[in-house]
Structure 1
Amino acid sequence: MPRSIPVIAAIQKTGFPTNLAIGFLGVIIFVIGDGIEAVWITNYFSSDDVGFSVAQGSTIVSFYGVVVALAAFLSGALCDALGCRAVMLTGLISFLIFDVLFIVVGLPSHSMPLVLLFYGLRGFGYPMFAYGYLTWTMMVTPPERQSSVSGWFWFAFSLGMQFLGSYFSSFFLPAIGHIATLWAGWILAAIGGIITMLFLRRHPSAKQTAGISIAKSVGSAVSVLWRYPKVSIGGIVKIINLSGQYGMQVYYVVYLHKVFGMPESQAILEFSVFGLVAIIGDVFWGVAGDRIGWRNTLQWAATPITFASLVYMYFIPIIAGPNFFLIAIGTAGIGIGLSAHVPTTPLLVAHAHGETGNALAILNLGAGLGAFVGPAIVTMLLGDENTAQGYFLPAMALAFIYAVSFLLCFALKLPGNARILHSAPALSDKPEEGAGHTTA
Structure 2
Amino acid sequence: MNPGLDNTRTIGGLPTKMVWGFVAMLVFMAGDGLEHAWLSPYLIEQGLTVQQAATLFTAYGAVLAVAAYFSGVLTEMWGPRKVMLIGLVTWLIGQILFIELGLKQHSYAAMLPTYALRGIGYPFFCYSFLVWVTYRSPKRIMATAVGLFWAAWSGGLYVVGSYFPAFMTDRIGYMGLLWSAVIWVLVGGIAGLLVVGNDKVSENKGDAKDKLKSLLSGFTVCIEKPKVAIGGLVRIINSVGVGALPIFFPIYLASEYNYTTGEWLTIWGTFWFANIIFNLIIPYISDRWLGWRRTVQWLGSVGCGVMTLVIFYTPQIVGHNFWVMTLVAIIFGIVLCGFVPLSALVTALAPDQKGSAMAIVSFGAGMSYFIAPAIVGLFINSIGAEGVIWIFAILYFSGAVLMKFMKLPEEEEQMERKVALKEQNV
Regarding TM over 0.5, the answer is yes
Deviation at 1:433, TM superposition (A): 7.8
Moved more, 347-356 or 83-92: 347-356
Aligned mate of 1:46, from 14, 32, 44: 44
Structure 2 match to 1:410? 404
**2:393 matches 1:395:** no
Structure 1 match to 2:227? 230
Deviation at 1:240, TM superposition (A): 0.2
Q: Per-residue CA shift, 1:124-182, capped at 9, x if unaligned? A: 11111011110111011122221010001011111101111100011122222111100
**2:278 matches 1:281:** yes
Structure 2 match to 1:157? 153
Structure 2 match to 1:240? 237
**2:94 matches 1:98:** yes
Q: Are the equivalent residues in 2 in contact too, given 1:17–1:149 (CA < 8 A)? A: no
Q: Are the equivalent residues in 1 in contact too, given 2:29–2:156 (CA < 8 A)? A: yes
**2:377 matches 1:379:** yes
**What amino acid does structure 2 have at the position aligned with 1:177?**
G
Counterparts of 1:61 and 1:323, CA distance in 2: 29
Deviation at 1:111, TM superposition (A): 2.3
Q: Secondary structure at the match of 1:91?
A: helix
Counterparts of 1:93 and 1:432, CA distance in 2: 51
Counterparts of 2:305 and 2:267, CA distance in 1: 18
Aligned mate of 1:361, from 352, 359, 362: 359
Deviation at 1:61, TM superposition (A): 0.7
Counterparts of 2:172 and 2:249, CA distance in 1: 23
Q: CA RMSD in A?
A: 2.0
Check 1:125–1:374 CA distance in 2 against 1; reply closer, same or farther (3 A cut).
Answer: same
Instruction: Tell me which protein shows more helix as a share of its residues.
Output: 2
Q: Counterparts in 2 of 1:25-40, with a 5 A limit? A: 25-40=23-38
Q: Counterparts in 2 of 1:6-405, with a 5 A limit? A: 12=12, 16-47=14-45, 50-201=46-197, 204-205=199-200, 209-212=203-206, 213=208, 214-291=211-288, 292-383=290-381, 390-405=384-399
Counterparts of 2:76 and 2:70, CA distance in 1: 10
Q: Per-residue CA shift, 1:281-320, capped at 9, x if unaligned? A: 2111221221121101011211121111110111111221
Q: Secondary structure at the match of 1:204?
A: coil
Structure 2 match to 1:426? none
Q: Are the equivalent residues in 2 in contact too, given 1:377–1:398 (CA < 8 A)? A: no
Counterparts of 1:300 and 1:393, CA distance in 2: 24
**What amino acid does structure 1 have at the position aligned with 2:309?**
V
Deviation at 1:16, TM superposition (A): 4.9
Deviation at 1:333, TM superposition (A): 2.1
Q: Secondary structure at the match of 1:340?
A: helix
Q: Are the equivalent residues in 1 in contact too, given 2:62–2:367 (CA < 8 A)? A: yes
Q: Are the equivalent residues in 2 in contact too, given 1:260–1:321 (CA < 8 A)? A: yes
Deviation at 1:357, TM superposition (A): 0.4
Q: Per-residue CA shift, 1:188-247, capped at 9, x if unaligned? A: 10111011112222x5336x5422444221111221111111100010000000111101
Q: Are the equivalent residues in 1 in contact too, given 2:79–2:199 (CA < 8 A)? A: no
Q: Secondary structure at the match of 2:120?
A: helix
Q: Per-residue CA shift, 1:30-80, capped at 9, x if unaligned? A: 000011111111111101xx3101121011111111111111111101111
Counterparts of 2:100 and 2:114, CA distance in 1: 10
**What amino acid does structure 2 have at the position aligned with 1:76?**
G
**What amino acid does structure 1 have at the position aligned with 2:24?**
G
Counterparts of 2:355 and 2:78, CA distance in 1: 12
Q: Are the equivalent residues in 2 in contact too, given 1:382–1:391 (CA < 8 A)? A: yes
Q: Are the equivalent residues in 2 in contact too, given 1:416–1:433 (CA < 8 A)? A: no
Structure 2: which 5+ residue stretches go unaligned? 1-8, 419-426
Q: Secondary structure at the match of 2:104?
A: helix
Q: Are the equivalent residues in 2 in contact too, given 1:383–1:390 (CA < 8 A)? A: yes
Q: Identity across aligned pairs (percent)? A: 33
Q: Secondary structure at the match of 2:200?
A: helix
Counterparts of 1:430 and 1:285, CA distance in 2: 24
**What amino acid does structure 2 have at the position aligned with 1:204?**
D
Equivalent pairs counted in the alignment come to 406
**What amino acid does structure 1 have at the position aligned with 2:285?**
A
Deviation at 1:430, TM superposition (A): 10
Check 1:99–1:290 CA distance in 2 against 1; reply closer, same or farther (3 A cut).
Answer: same
Check 1:245–1:209 CA distance in 2 against 1; reply closer, same or farther (3 A cut).
Answer: farther
**What amino acid does structure 2 have at the position aligned with 1:370?**
S
**What amino acid does structure 1 have at the position aligned with 2:48?**
F
Counterparts of 1:331 and 1:430, CA distance in 2: 38
Structure 1: which 5+ residue stretches go unaligned? 1-7, 419-428, 435-440
Q: Per-residue CA shift, 1:228-284, capped at 9, x if unaligned? A: 111000100000001111011212222212322111111111111111111012111
Counterparts of 1:141 and 1:362, CA distance in 2: 19
Counterparts of 1:346 and 1:432, CA distance in 2: 23
Check 1:191–1:35 CA distance in 2 against 1; reply closer, same or farther (3 A cut).
Answer: same
Counterparts of 1:181 and 1:115, CA distance in 2: 17
